C-alpha cells in the first residue's frame, strides 16, 4: 500500500479509533466515474472531497460523485461574496491539509478546515471516499462519516 494511504489509515486509527478497510486500485480512481467503475458502485456513492478557498480559509465540500460545488451557493452558505470563492490550488491543499488533490480524504487533515457534506450522500448505506491518494479509497456509512468529520450539512 502507498505510504500516504498508510499514513491516512494510521492517523484515522489513532485520532478517531476507526479501523478502515482501504482499497487500492492500480488503474486509479482520480474521477468519480473512475472510482465507481473500479469499486463497482454507483457514481452517486462516491464522496468527492472538493477543496475550495473562501477568502483566506480552505473549506472541504464532501459531495456526491454526480454533484458539483456551485461557488455562488457555497459563498452564500458561508457568508462571503462569490468572487471570494474559488477552487484551491494544489499547493494550498497540500500545504494546509496535508493531502494531494485527487486523494483528499473527508477528514484527518493537518489543519481544521470548514467541512460541508452533501445531504444526498445520506441516502446510501455505504459511500466511498479518497484515502490520501488518487488510487486509494475506503467505504464508510454516511452516519459514521458525519460522526467523525462533524460537517455542516448542505444541499447541492
Confidence band (pLDDT; 50, 70, 90) for 6? very high
Residue 143 has pLDDT above 80, yes or no: yes
Q: pLDDT tens-digit profile of 48-101?
A: 999 999 988 999 999 999 998 988 889 988 889 999 999 999 999 999 999 999
Spatial separation of the C-alpha atoms in residues 53 and 21, rounded to whole Å: 30
How many domains does the chain fold into? 1
Q: Is the dihedral of CA 79, 155, 71, 148 positive or negative?
A: positive
Averaged pLDDT of the chain: 93
What's the pLDDT score for residue 31? 83
71's CB contacts (< 8 A; 6+ apart) are 52, 82, 85, 86
24 is a domain residue: no
Q: Report the DSSP pairing between strands 152-154 and 114-118.
A: parallel
| pLDDT (mean) for 107-119 | 95
The answer to the question of residue 8 being in a domain is no
pLDDT at 70: 87
Give the domain range for residue 92. 31-154
Q: Would 26 be classed as within a structural domain?
A: no
Predicted pLDDT at 73:
87
Q: For position 1, what pLDDT does the model report?
A: 85
Q: Is residue 68 part of a domain?
A: yes
pTM: 0.91
pLDDT mean over 103-132: 95
Amino acid at each position: 500500500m502507498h505510504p500516504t494511504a498508510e499514513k491516512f489509515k494510521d492517523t484515522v486509527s489513532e485520532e478517531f479509533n476507526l479501523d478502515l478497510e482501504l482499497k487500492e486500485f492500480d488503474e486509479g480512481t482520480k474521477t468519480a466515474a473512475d472510482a465507481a467503475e473500479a469499486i463497482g458502485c454507483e457514481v452517486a456513492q462516491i464522496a468527492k472531497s472538493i477543496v475550495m478557498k473562501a477568502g483566506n480559509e480552505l473549506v472541504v465540500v464532501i459531495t456526491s460523485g454526480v454533484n458539483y460545488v456551485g461557488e455562488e451557493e457555497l459563498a452564500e452558505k458561508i457568508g462571503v461574496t462569490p468572487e471570494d470563492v474559488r477552487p484551491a490550488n494544489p499547493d494550498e491543499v497540500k500545504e494546509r491539509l496535508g493531502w494531494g488533490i485527487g486523494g483528499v480524504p473527508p477528514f484527518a487533515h493537518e489543519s481544521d478546515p470548514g467541512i460541508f457534506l452533501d445531504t444526498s450522500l445520506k441516502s446510501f448505506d455505504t459511500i466511498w471516499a479518497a484515502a490520501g491518494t488518487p488510487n486509494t479509497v475506503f467505504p464508510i456509512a454516511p452516519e459514521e462519516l458525519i460522526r467523525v468529520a462533524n460537517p455542516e450539512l448542505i444541499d447541492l
